[in-house]
Every structure is written in structure tokens, then in C-alpha cells.
Amino acid sequence: MAILVTGGLGFIGSHTVIELLSSGYEVVIADNLSNSEISVLDKLKKLSNKTIAFYEIDVTDKDKLELIFLNHEIDGIIHFAGYKAVGESVVNPLSYYYNNLMSTISLAELASKYDVESFVFSSSATVYGDNVSPFKEDMPLLERTNPYGETKAMSERILSDYSKTEPTKKITLLRYFNPIGAHESGLIGEVPKGIPNNLMPYITQVASGKREKLFIFGNDYDTPDGTGVRDYIHVVDLARGHVAALKKAKQGINIYNLGTGIGVSVLELIHTFIEVNQVDIPYEIVERRPGDIAVSYADTSKAERELGFKTVKTVEDMVRDAWRFEKNLIK
Ligand code: NAD
Ligand code: UD1
């Protein structure tokens, strides 16, 4: 069974490639290296000891993309390729809409033409907006505050409408909560370009001395310690969730949260990082970040019931693995 993994050299894609290969799938990667390095491919080959077909192409280019379907018998697609920086999406909305929507449409067209059975899409908890946690898959989605989030909600809609025209296909929308951590080998992980927007890569860069201190965006939220609460999920667990989705998804449209169901505050994550890794993280409390919500965590019961998916890694594993990867980067 060959699975086309778009964005397979990125943070979540690379970890998913490893899980797919170890579950016996053949993998074909399409990535344009806009937010990843080609060296990741060698690391994936080294970690898996398997061959991986790789195409350096832009997934929005349907003609080039079609070559893959002509060269390989593709049974499933996992579509990670996309831009993901919220702030950048406010500054460059058109490039976000173009990249994130055209890639999804081109892939869906080819999935239809080449009769691909499964299509798994990387969505985000951001589509829930400021709902009350735990977020449940059948909740009405609330307004998104930025173009990035909008591309996720629009892609979900596009794929839902596509599914109505081909009801025998298995289409799965996975709403990720906050993926952090890294592969335990320390070889692959998250490498943000420029100043990290997200909490975990910022923490690891403060720990390594690349940045002087962490800025905590607000301690006056209605949460136990006043800082924002999120559902952090280890990227290896998240990757396993994709294999479960491929194996168990039903015909039609399937939506699943991938999270742990546990809310962790900014201060709790920092203190766990300090205790587990025995490094200091200087921080300062500053203003809230516009668009942030107080609390976001998943109701995980549907993924557990229907996919048999349950996370196994702890927050301690997440901070240990994230730090191991960052230390390898500075070696
Ligand atoms: P990433 O940037 O590390 O990986 C994305 C990969 O896609 C990169 O390797 C990039 O080079 C490639 N890419 C981008 N546009 C492309 C195009 N047009 N053609 C070919 N390749 C292209 O991001 P990630 O964290 O691994 O996220 C993967 C997916 O999951 C994204 O769609 C993202 O929006 C979604 N997601 C991520 C998070 C998160 O916190 N990381 C949360 C929710 C959803
Ligand atoms: C981010 C994305 C969101 C995406 C989600 C899942 C932004 C604005 N939003 O949200 O679209 O769906 O990831 O991966 O990027 N924090 C600090 N200091 C920092 C960075 C973050 O205090 O330097 C706080 C935030 O206020 C928040 C928590 O840490 O309370 C987590 O932030 P982050 O890692 O950016 O994730 P989300 O805000 O959930």
C-alpha cells in the first residue's frame, strides 16, 4: 500500500513517515522544501532503513503532482503540506489562501481521477474558535480570527463537499491540538524559521541560550494560574493517530480530534521543562497575545472509540524529547 505524504519532510509529516514505514506502508513524499530541509530525507531513511520515494514539487502544481500518480499506485494521501504561521497569514493572506486551498483542491481532484481510497487532512483545533473546552467534533465551529485558521475551516468544507460526490471514499479530517516534542532518536523534530511563534520551540531556544527569556502572554486568564491552557500532544503520538486514521476510517467524511484531553498551562509546561531537563528558563509576564483564547483541550472520546487511538506519551516525555532534539541542533 503506497501512501502519498505531502509535506512529509516537515515537523509532523516526518514523524508520520516513520510510523507509516514501521507499520508496513510504502511512502511517497511530495515537499517543496519551503519550510523544511532535504537533510530530513536522509534521516528518515536512516531511522527506518527503508527506501522512500521523494518528489521536490509544489503540491499546488497539479501537472507536476500528477506525475506521482502516474509513477505510483497511490492508495492513500496524507496532506500535511501548507503554511502554518498565524501572524504571517495576517500579513500575507493571499499566499496562505492560495497555498493551503490550491494544494487541497489539486490533491482532491487527483484523488478522484486516480480513485484513491483514503484522504487524510491536517486540520487544527483552531477551527473551534473560542468554544468552551473540551472541544467536541460535532460542536458548531466559531469564527476564526486569522486567515490561517480560515484556510483550515475552508479546506474542511471543500473536502466535506467533495466527499458528498464520492461517498465510497474515506475522507478524514484530523483536528490537531498542540503538537510538541520530537522523535526519541533526537534526529527529527521541529525547526522553526526565525523567531518561534509557538511556546515549545521558544522554550527550547531559551534553554539553549539562543534567546534570552520567554515572554508569557498574559497571566490574567480565567484559568487556575492565570496563564493559557492547551492540550499538548507528543508528535509521535500524533503521528500514530494518522496510521490509526488510515486503518480505521470509514467511508464518507470522518472528523477526529487528536489531543490528550488534558489541559496544561504555560507555567505548568515551563516548570515541567525545568524539572525534567534541569535547565533554567527565565521568563517575563507580558500582555496577552491578540487572538489567543484562555483554554483549549480536546474531547478525545470519538478518536478512542472509533480509531482505537489513545495517546501514551506524557508531558515529561514531550519536554525531554523536545530538549534532546534542540541540544542536537546546537552540537
Ligand atoms: P511544517 O511547516 O513543519 O511542514 C509542512 C511541510 O509542507 C514543510 O516541509 C513544507 O516545506 C511543505 N510545504 C508547504 N507548502 C507546500 C506546497 N505547496 N507544496 C509542497 N510542500 C509544501 O508544518 P507542520 O507543523 O508539520 O504541520 C503540518 C500540517 O499540520 C500543516 O498543514 C499545518 O497547518 C497543520 N497543523 C499544524 C499544527 C502545529 O502546531 N504544528 C497544528 C495544527 C495543524
Ligand atoms: C497556535 C496557533 C493556532 C494553532 C495551534 C495548534 C498562533 C497564534 N496560534 O496556537 O492557530 O491551531 O497553535 O498548534 O500561533 N505563549 C506564550 N509565549 C510564547 C508563545 C506562546 O506565553 O512565546 C502561550 C500562548 O499565549 C498560549 C500557549 O502559550 O497560551 C500556547 O501557544 P502556542 O504554542 O502559540 O499555541 P496556540 O496559542 O494554541
CATH number of the domain enclosing 87? 3.40.50.720
Over range 66-70, report the average pLDDT.
98
Task: Say if 37 falls within a structural domain.
Answer: yes
The answer, yes or no, to whether residue 1 has pLDDT greater than 90, is: no
For residue 174, report the distance from its CA to the centre of ligand 1, in Å. 14
Position 133 in a domain: yes
Mean pLDDT of 120-124: 98
The pLDDT score that the predictor gives to residue 243 is: 98
How many Å apart are CA 70 and CA 65, to the nearest integer? Answer: 9
In the block, cell 473536502 appears at 159
Percent of the chain at pLDDT > 70 equals 100
Q: What pLDDT score does 193 carry?
A: 86
Kindly tell me if the per-residue pLDDT of 71 is higher than 80.
yes
Burial track 170-209 (b if 16+ CB lie within 10 A, e otherwise): bbbbbbbbbbbbbbeebbbbbbbeeebebbbbbbbbbbee
User: What is the C-alpha to C-alpha distance for residues 15 and 9, in angstroms, rounded to an integer?
Assistant: 9
**Does residue 293 have its Cβ closer than 6 Å to ligand 2?**
no
User: Which residue has its alpha carbon closest to ligand 1 atom 9?
Assistant: 10
Identify the weakest region by mean pLDDT among 64-68, 184-188, 288-292. 288-292
Residue nearest to atom 31 of ligand 2 (CA): 199
* Nearest CA owner, ligand 1 atom 13: 81
Please check the confidence at residue 128 and state whether its pLDDT lies above 90: yes
Is 18 domain-assigned?
Answer: yes
**What pLDDT shows up at residue 279?**
97
DSSP readout, 202-240? HHHHHHTTSSS-EEEE-S-SSSTTSS-EE-EEEHHHHHH
| Domain boundaries, position 69 | 2-181+232-259
At 141 the pLDDT is 94
Domain annotation covers residue 241: yes
Closest residue by Cα to atom 4, ligand 2, is 126
Q: Hey, which of 286, 292, 297 would you mutate to test ligand 2's pocket, going by the most ligand atoms within 8 Å of its Cβ? A: 292
122's grid cell: 491536517
The closest of 112, 116, 53, 55 to 81, measured between CA atoms, is 55
Give me the pLDDT at residue 80, please. Answer: 98
Helix (H) or strand (E) holding 30, with range, is: strand 26-30
Average pLDDT (274-280) is: 97
Ligand closest to the CA atom of residue 295: 2
Q: What's 232's DSSP letter?
A: E
Residue 217 lies in a domain: no
Looking at the CA of 35, which ligand is closest?
Answer: 1
Please give the C-alpha separations between residue 129 and each of 39, 133, 221, 247, in angstroms, as whole numbers: 36, 10, 16, 29
C-beta neighbour count of 165 within 10 angstroms: 9
Give domain status of residue 209, yes or no: no
Question: What number does the ligand 2 atom closest to the CA of 227 have?
Answer: 30
> What is the greatest pairwise CA distance in the chain?
55
> Cβ neighbours of residue 131 under 8 Å, at least 6 residues apart?
139, 141, 142
d(CA 313, CA 6): 25
The whole-number pLDDT of residue 329 equals 86
The number of folded domains in the chain is 1
Q: Which of 200, 229, 248 has the alpha carbon at shortest distance from 135?
A: 229
pLDDT (average), residues 248-276: 97
The answer on pLDDT for 331 being more than 80 is no
The ligand with the least distance to the CA atom of 297 is 2
C-alpha cell, 223: 484559568
Distance CA 280, CA 273 (A): 9
pLDDT at 143 over 90: no
Q: What does the pLDDT read at residue 176?
A: 98
Q: Among all chains, which residue has been given the C-alpha cell 493572506?
A: 93
Across the range 249-278, mean pLDDT stands at 97
β-strands 53-55, 178-180: how paired?
unpaired
Q: Does any domain span residue 247?
A: yes
Residue 186 lies in a domain: no
Which helix (H) or strand (E) segment holds residue 109: the answer is helix 93-113
pLDDT tens track for 168-181 = 999 999 999 999 99
Position 144 confidence tier, pLDDT thresholds 50, 70, 90: confident
Q: What's this model's pTM, rounded to 2 decimal places?
A: 0.98
